[in-house]
Amino acid sequence: MMRILFRVLGLLKKYWRWLFLTYLCLLLLTAATMFVPQFIGMAVDNGLHVNSTTLVVTGDMKLLVYYGLAIIGLSLLRGLFSFGQSYFAEYAGQKVAYDLRNVLYDRIQRLSFAFHDKAQTGQLMSRATQDVEGVRFFLSMVVVRLINLVITVIVIAVILLRMNWQLTLISFACIPFIAYIAVRFGAVMLPLWTKIQQRMASMSTALQENLTGIRVVKAFSRQKLETKKFDEETQLLYDPQIRTARIQAFRGPLFNVLTAIASALVLWYGGMLVINGKLTAGQLTQFYIYLSYLIPPVRLLGPHINMTSRAIASGKRIFEITDTESAVKEKPNALVLSNVKGDIKFSGVNFNYEVANPKKPTSNILQDISLEAKSGEMVALLGATGSGKTTLVNLIPRFYDVTSGSITIDGIDIRDVTLASLRRQIGIVQQDAFMFTGTIRDNISYGAVNASDDEIIASSKTARLHDFIMTLPQKYDTWVGERGVTLSGGQKQRLAIARTLLIDPRILILDDSTSSVDTETEFLIQQALRELMKGRTTFVIAQRLQTVKDAQQIFVLDKGKIVEQGTHVELLKDSKIYREIYELQLKAQEEALGSEVNR
């Protein structure tokens, strides 16, 4: 716990100048505050005179005005120093929060698919928002106030001891109890705050998942089920929050009682000292004001410890992400891959998702994969769901790293080149093309932000998308909704093809499934894909007969192994598994094409 706390505090090191200004203002604020009771005490003793016989109060008005103006001046200074302390502390805290958010985002961007396969979006969002805010609040508020508490206690204790040590000891009798209760409550609150942060993240995950899949929810009329699930998540969050509120509600009145006891002791013993002439009325007033300055910071020790506990819990969750090492690492002196021809070779490749976790041994997803694709060839991958097709193509851009064996491009091991240069050579068109919120132009030029309008239009024409775009009111500046909700599946796929064409990759990875689109759209997509594949080495997760027929090589996978390979004609003649796939999936397409031709 202390290691996390010191690490959180270390985040301020970069902004030590602002921290120095914060504490300078804090010291000046404390000094100005300490003089106020002095002037009030002197005003009572020197500016007011009580006739002990007649009990008539007389005073020196000039002196009272002087003390009043002095107190007003000190208040103005206190306001100035308080502003400086708050502003500089908040500036430092906000800068740390800014840095943390960027570090978190950068780390999340750089982590491999292996991390994102297990991470929940809501959890990551919670750490980048609520947890960062927990750390910011601690650094900008709690740290300063805890230092202020220490300084205030020391200064006031010295002043009061010099005034009357017996009265000081009596007035301080309740302070240890107040401090103990505050610390004790803080210890109880730490696990509660950790639980609250975790459950808040779980609730965010449930909300994010529901909003993302809202169309599925409505399509299946599962609103009641989703409402119930969300209610369960909020109940899990509600319980520790209510317990926290109960503890805090109990703590407040307890502190009030202890504070009242301390005040009563001061009035009782201090009053006797005034009656006996050992203390003046002004000194007792001064003493009481100093004590009133001391109690609130001590009472706030509990909430500050709560916020410290929350910051530790938040810091731990943040550092879990920032300390996570990517399973895919770039070598220190990695080469820049350029002038690529596109010869790709898999040599004895094995892959296991759980290789980094020896406690959960599993069999390899891919086993002894060896294949070679020459520059400009199309390689089709076939197999049942779960056979390893997608995993295999995901190894080429190093979304995952092989467990053993190697993958080379033009004879260079892909682990020896920079990730950026490797992925610049690879274009990926998936069945479910992701669209970012923005214009059509923004989405097409996502991988080539400096592309000219002519280049964007040329790629759109090749992808058979330009004519559709020109029918839109704002053409290329038309805004697409979140995840491209305003576009059809075929339009999104053609846009993804245009986006890939614009970066002009030497290697392509395609999912050619077009089963969810109409015949005309499928024809347009197939035309666009043929243009896209010209002269490029292409790996296709094949589900269309025409793609299979056009492929120079077909590899049939079963349970992570290549069980058959050859051309369409060769496999149809000699292969058992391929013939089964053909009979079940491809023959119907061939017959449909034949009937279309006969018409």
Helix, strand, coil percentages (3-state) for the chain, rounded to 5, are: 65, 10, 20
* Cβ within 8 Å of residue 108, ≥6 positions away: 124, 128, 321
pLDDT tens profile 455-485: 888 888 887 788 888 888 888 888 776 666 6
Q: Does 593 have pLDDT greater than 50?
A: no
The closest alpha carbon to 145, from 187, 82, 74, belongs to 82
The torsion defined by the Cα of 4, 8, 13 and 15, in degrees rounded to 10, comes to: 180
Q: Does 308 have pLDDT greater than 60?
A: yes
Q: Residue 597: what pLDDT? A: 39
CA 225, distance to chain mean position in Å, is: 28
Q: Does 356 have pLDDT greater than 60?
A: no
Q: Residue 590: what pLDDT? A: 55
Indicate the pTM of the whole model. Answer: 0.67
Q: Residue 48: what pLDDT? A: 64
CB 509 within 8 Å of CB 427: yes
Q: Residue 482: what pLDDT? A: 63
Between 587 and 338, the higher pLDDT residue = 338
Q: Average pLDDT, stretch 327-353?
A: 85
Confidence of residue 131 (pLDDT cuts 50, 70, 90): confident
Return the axis-axis angle of helices 281-299 and 175-212, rounded to nearest 10°.
30
Between 125 and 468, the higher pLDDT residue = 468
Q: Residue 596: what pLDDT? A: 45
| Complete domains list, the chain, with CATH | 2-15+90-322 (1.20.1560.10), 374-385+425-598 (3.40.50.300)
Q: Residue 61: what pLDDT? A: 76
Please state, in angstroms and rounded to a whole number, the distance separating the CA atoms of residues 557 and 577. 9
The torsion defined by the Cα of 543, 544, 549 and 552, in degrees rounded to 10, comes to: -40
Q: Would you tell me how many other CB atoms lie within 10 Å of the CB of residue 504?
A: 14
Beta-ladder partners of 413: 408
Q: Residue 220: what pLDDT? A: 57
Q: Does 190 have pLDDT greater than 70?
A: no
**Rounded mean pLDDT of the chain?**
78
Give the position of tokens 């589900």. Answer: 543
Beta-ladder partners of 308: none
Q: Average pLDDT, stretch 436-440?
A: 79
* Range among 164-168, 243-247, 251-255 with highest mean pLDDT value: 164-168
**Considering only 180-184, 260-264, 390-394, which range has the smallest mean pLDDT?**
180-184
pLDDT tens profile 478-537: 877 666 666 777 777 788 888 888 888 888 888 765 544 555 666 666 777 777 777 788
Q: Residue 324: what pLDDT? A: 77
Q: Average pLDDT, stretch 306-328?
A: 79
Please state, in angstroms and rounded to a whole number, the distance separating the CA atoms of residues 398 and 326. 12
Q: Average pLDDT, stretch 318-331?
A: 80
The closest alpha carbon to 506, from 430, 596, 421, 437, belongs to 421
Burial (CB count <10 Å: 0-12, 13-18, 19+), residue 482:
exposed
CB 123 within 8 Å of CB 204: yes
pLDDT tens profile 50-103: 555 554 556 667 787 887 888 888 889 888 988 988 888 888 888 888 888 888
